[in-house]
Every structure is written in structure tokens, then in C-alpha cells.
Amino acid sequence: MTQLKKSDDFQNNEKNDFEFPDDNNKSFIAKTFSFLLELIKTVIISLAIILPIRYFIIQPFYVKGASMEPNFHDKDYLIINEFAYRFNEPERGDIVIFKNPRNPKEFFIKRIIGLPIEKIKIYDNKVYLYNSEYPEGNIIEELYLPEGRDTRGNEIIELKGNEYYVLGDNRDHSLDSRTFGPIAKDSIIGKVWVRGWPLDKFTIFEEEKYNL
């Protein structure tokens, strides 16, 4: 009888020993499934937040070429605020990304110099501004340009209600409004907000100050 009980105990123990790892497996599978479910939910929520920001608010761009030197260089990595002009108007000094008026598949980076309903005159290597505040004209002093950098050209242009006059900071090596004329507001992709690369030149860009 004792041996039979021991045998029964052994069988019971054997049964328990067999079921115990099975319970562990079920628990492991349940925990893994729960973890994966939470991970999927987190990814979906993150994408729901990130994608609208990525495609409708900010967008990365690489600078190509030397037209904005010395303030921007080839392969600088920039973050563009595409939401900047939804409720506000572009301002003088803003650095913007816009579609090439001659080829909308290409994008340019330039600085806004002239605003709607203003007159811009380039003469004697200087930029003159005419508007309601300066009907007789005033030279625009651009402190972000290297000393002695001239603006070559000889033209007078009156801007319409939705037009902006843009120039590259590297005035002698820039394809800008002196060549293709003013740009329309709806061609502007966004305002340069941050330079993220190179790291030693990380910059959050602020409003430029003028003598106006």
C-alpha cells in the first residue's frame, strides 16, 4: 500500500512536473503577446504624432551649393518650419526654401529682402528700399553679410501684393530674384528654423534686425 501510494505520489508529481513548464509557457506567451500589443500601440500612436509633424509642420533639407555662404554651406542639414506662414506673413530677413520659378521640381534657399507693395532698387552695389515709410528710399544695411560684400546689379522692381524679392547671401554666386524675378508666396515651402548639422554649427535662427 505504501509503495502504491508512493507510486501514486510519483505519478502525481510527474504530472505536476509536466504541467508546470506548460503553465510557464502559457504565461510567457501571454506576456510576450501583451508586450508586442503594447509595442504596436506605441508605434501607431508615435506615427500618428510624428507623421503629421514630419509632413505638414517640419521638413529636413540639405543645402546644395555656395549661394548662401558664409552663413550656410554645402551639405548643411536644415529643419524647415512649413507651418510658419500659415497664419503669419514672411518677414524681411527670413531665410526660406521655395520652388525654383523656372523648375518647380527644384528648391532654392534664399533670404527675403523685399516685401509686397515695396520697391527694390539695386544700384551702385547697394540695395535700396522704397515703401510708405521710406518714399525717398533707404539703403538696407545687411549685418549678416561680410564687410565689403557688394550686391551687383542695376534694376528697379515693384513688388505686387503676393510677391517677395529674394537674394542669396553670396551675392556674386547666387541665382536669385536678380535673375528670375520676385517669387510668389505660394511657392514658399517654409522658413529655415534650425541648422542641425554640422553639430559645431548648430543654430536656431532668429529674426534679423535691420536699420529700418
Q: How far is 81 from 139, CA to CA, in rounded Å?
A: 30
Side chain identity at 146, as an amino acid letter? P
Q: Which residues contact 161 (CB under 8 A, 6 or more apart)?
A: 116, 117
Side chain identity at 201, as an amino acid letter? K
Q: Which of 1, 149, 18 is nearest to 71 (CA)?
A: 149
> Which positions are annotated as active-site residues?
67, 110
Q: How far is 208 from 75, CA to CA, in rounded Å?
A: 23
CB 121 within 8 A of CB 134: no
3-state DSSP of 142-182:
CCCCCCCCCCCCCEEEECCCCEEEEECCCHHHCCCHHHHCC
Q: Give the count of beta carbons closer than 10 Å to the beta carbon of residue 168.
A: 23
Q: How far is 81 from 159, CA to CA, in rounded Å?
A: 25
